[in-house]
Amino acid sequence: MNKIKNCRKINLTKIVDAHDGVLSVASAQNEIPFNIKRVYYIYHFESQKSVRGHHAHKCLEQVLFCISGSFCIKLDDGENQYQYLMNNPNEGLFIGNNLWHTMQDFTNDCIIIVLASDYYDESDYIRDYKEFKNYLNNNHFEN
Q: Convert the pLDDT of each residue in 85-133 to its tens digit.
A: 999 999 999 999 999 999 999 999 999 999 999 999 999 999 999 999 9
- How far apart are the C-alpha atoms of 84 and 103, rounded to whole Å? 10
DSSP assignment string, 25-80: ---BTTTBSS---EEEEE---S-TT-EEEEEEESS--EEEEEEES-EEEEEE-SS-
Q: How confident is the model at residue 143 (pLDDT cuts 50, 70, 90)?
A: very low
Nearest CA-CA partner of 126 in 53, 51, 36, 42: 53
Question: Which domains, from first to last, does the chain contain?
Answer: 7-139 (2.60.120.10)
Q: What is the pLDDT of residue 88?
A: 95
- pLDDT single digits (tens) 34-63: 999 999 999 998 776 788 889 999 999 999
On whether the CB atoms of residues 33 and 115 are closer than 8 A, the answer is no
Please give the positions annotated as active site: 55
**Could you give the 3-state DSSP secondary structure of residue 135?**
helix
Q: Is the pLDDT of residue 20 over 90?
A: no
Separation CA 62–CA 104 (nearest Å): 18
pLDDT at position 140 is 66
Looking at residue 141, what is its pLDDT?
59
Q: Which of 101, 89, 115, 68 is nearest to 1 (CA)?
A: 101
pLDDT greater at residue 3 or residue 102: 102
Cα–Cα dist 125/22, whole Å: 35
The pLDDT value given to residue 50: 85
* pLDDT(17) > 70: yes
Q: What is the pLDDT of residue 113?
A: 97
**pLDDT tens, 113-126?**
999 999 999 999 99
Please answer whether residues 64 and 86 qualify as being in contact, where contact means their C-beta atoms are separated by less than 8 angstroms: yes
Instruction: Identify residue 16 by its one-letter amino acid code.
Output: V
Q: Please tell me which residue, 82 or 18, carries the higher pLDDT value.
A: 82
Lowest mean pLDDT among 24-33, 46-55, 65-74, 79-88: 46-55
Handedness of CA 77, 87, 41, 23 (dihedral sign): negative
